[in-house]
Chains A and B, each alone.
Chain A
Amino acid sequence: MSTDATQRAAQGAALAPNGYVGFARRYWLWLAGIAAALLVPWLFFDWGTHRHSGFVLTMLSEIGLMSVFALSFNMQMGQAGLLSFGHAILFGLGGYVTAHTLNAIKAGSMWLPTELVPLAGGVGGLIFGAAFGYVATKQRATAFAMITMGLGELVAACALMFMGFFGGEGGISTDRVIDTSLFGIPYSSSWQVYCLVVAWTAIAAILMRLQTQTPLGRMANACRDNFERAQFVGYDPRMVRFYQFALSGFFAGIGGALYVLVYEIVTFDTVAAAKSATALLATYIGGAGTFFGPVLGTIVVVLLQSGVSLLSNAWLLYVGVLFIIMVMYAPGGMMGIVAQHAPIARIGRLGELVVPYVRLLAPGLLAVLGFVLLVELASFITIGAAQGKDFKIGRVVIDPHAALPWVAAAAALLGAGLWLRLESRLFRIRWDALIADAKAKGAML
């Protein structure tokens, strides 16, 4: 799969699309993504009141802006092999710059069309990216990770110390209705802002995608793979890291700007470690090795964050467990799992995996159920009780202090775990046979 992509990228001009059909065939994933982004809100449109669902629009906006953030994180992580623990500082500082820009426009001390306000965040991210990148990219690997962690703590501390720029704990509030739109759009409704977010998410994603096909983007890959070899073809790996870091700051800043346009406030948690961790989680869950992995991971994380957090106090725990499971069993992330199926698809035997997968599904679901039940029981003893809520599944109220639910949950988890082991062994045998066949037929690439 990824080989196809590189091949296509490499042959670029030679494979010029012929007309609309060729264009659609080449960029179907992009077109489908943009179409889905613009259509999905209408599924939740309330035709009675003629209003969009605010919850859905906010969630989708969050997916968009966090995708930009995660993709920019992956410019360092996946592309350049630089694991940053402080990436949110570029996102958050881009947000602060945007908030101040909006306030300045509102006050009449500067002029910028609303549609171009994200660029202010981008430039902010670029400047801070260059400054912090200058320090961090002196090193690579573990030392780089440590420096970024230190920078993250530094900026988070500054955010509470320098009231003028950061606004302390209250953050900086702003108003996106600044009446400078090029198209006369007031941006007073969530839908209007959402369209702006979709447009900028698409622009930023396309630019980041194109960046992977530039000399700098390729040499970032090269330095990730073998920095010494890169030196002996004339490149200074440190400068490759620096430019890549600064550019990634530009896009992180755009993400932060979109955040400010959506929420009209930027607070200290946009630069905090938890925000950095979100990008890392999304990238790993989706897969750092492919371009779209971070987007997929962001969708999963935001859905868990927005959707599951309505139902459960423990959503972050589920994200954490998912992260651990992915890192342990699928280091290539969800996109990696998809890519592993490519050789089997190429020999046309993908259908033979349907039954084994269905057989994995039953114990898998049961194990998830048992685990969720255990977590929720524990959470209802503590947080739930404090909030004065009852643990209800449908209409049935479950008493977290009784023994039965605990025993049932533990038994389900344990039993399903053993069952899953058995099934996965059978699955493995079938899988290995198919892979062996793919190898024999030379379909491994």
Chain B
Amino acid sequence: MSVAPEAAISLRGVHKSFGRTQIIRGVDLDIPRGQRHALIGPNGAGKTTLFNLISGRFAVTSGTIALNGRPIDGLAPHEINRLGLSRSFQITSIFPRLTVFENVRCGLLWARGYRYSFWHLLGGQRALNEEAERLIERLNLQGRRNVPAGLLSYAEQRALEIGITVAGGADVILLDEPTAGMSHSETEYAVALIRQVSEGKTLLMVEHDMSVVFGLADVITVLVYGEVIASDAPTRIRSNKAVQEAYLGSEAA
């Protein structure tokens, strides 16, 4: 059960059952630092469950998960986040009644050491506010700065969620279907944004849009029925027999 020290995320023998239903059935996976890694697979393969296990939303049934060589299974989500892992959600998860600016700033607070302070006035925290403003510009949301996040368009909300996710500067980022439900042009924009904000970081993303996957990922892992059937460079995944069967089963047969 050795853990590769250079891996940002390392899974060993991870199982997850809900009642009698096994969702994740023994996953081993190493994601080296700085890699852009895509997790694909048919519906119900357990991709989102795996995300929830890594980010601490669910506890593993058995197996270990390590972040930068440090075991994190059993830790609460906020503890895992403080160790440098941040995630987005498949269903948009933002702070709907707060403005875009406040959303982004909330993403920064803990990482900048403000903790539970009730003695700092946020208006006077110049460095913090400027950082939030810069990030809003990178998200191209500066025109919507003071709009409550709940009133943004869907694509804007997705961009904002990516912003909240990367705001704290976590070096491992998990994105769960960041382009789901987007139009073609919105997707293109989102891909450019993801590429930019994940620069120099470890990225793990679940994605259904294959053009996004092949455009962004250095390595693709294919999950089918809770098991990894392939993990390789995009070109080799494309020609992998097992993957083709899993995806195009009926047509190939």
Contact = CB atoms under 8 A, between A and B. Distances in A.
A241 to B, nearest CB: 11
B41 to A, nearest CB: 23
Nearest to A11: B123
Interface in B38-59: 55, 57
B184 interface: no
Interface in A213-231: 213-219, 221-222, 224-226, 228-231
Contacts, number: 130
Band of interface residues on B: 35 or more
Query: Which of A11, A221, A225, A247 gathers most chain B CB within 10 Å?
Result: A225
A234 B94 CA distance: 14
B109 A218 contact: yes
A229 B164 contact: yes
A217 B55 CA distance: 26
A219 B106 contact: yes
A3 interface: yes
Interface stretch (B12-20, B110-118, B206-214): B110-118
Given A12-B124, A214-B121, A215-B109, A231 B81 contact: yes
B98 interface: yes
B22 to A, nearest CB: 25
Given A211-B118, A214-B119, A215-B118, A233 B107 contact: yes
Q: Is the interface of A mostly helix, strand, loop or mixed?
A: helix
A238 to B, nearest CB: 9
A234 B102 contact: no
Interface string A180-219: 0000000000000000000000000000001101111111
Given A221-B95, A234-B82, A210 B121 contact: yes
B146 A3 contact: yes
A230 B146 contact: no
B129 A232 contact: no
A231 B78 contact: yes
Given A3-B146, A7-B146, A445-B151, A12 B121 contact: yes
Nearest to B80: A232
Contact of B116 (A11, A224, A239): A239
Interface string A1-32: 00100110111110000000000000000000
A269 interface: no
Interface of B: 55, 57, 76-78, 81-82, 86-87, 89, 93-99, 101-102, 105-107, 109-111, 114-124, 126, 129, 146-148, 151, 164-165, 167-168
Q: Which 6 A-B pairs have the closest CB atoms?
A: A12-B123, A234-B110, A215-B114, A231-B77, A225-B95, A216-B118
Given A215-B114, A221-B98, A229-B89, 19 more contacts: A3-B146, A10-B101, A10-B122, A210-B121, A213-B123, A214-B117, A215-B109, A216-B117, A218-B122, A219-B106, A219-B109, A222-B106, A229-B95, A232-B86, A233-B107, A234-B82, A234-B168, A243-B116, A445-B151
Interface of A: 3, 6-7, 9-13, 210-211, 213-219, 221-222, 224-226, 228-236, 239-240, 243, 247, 445
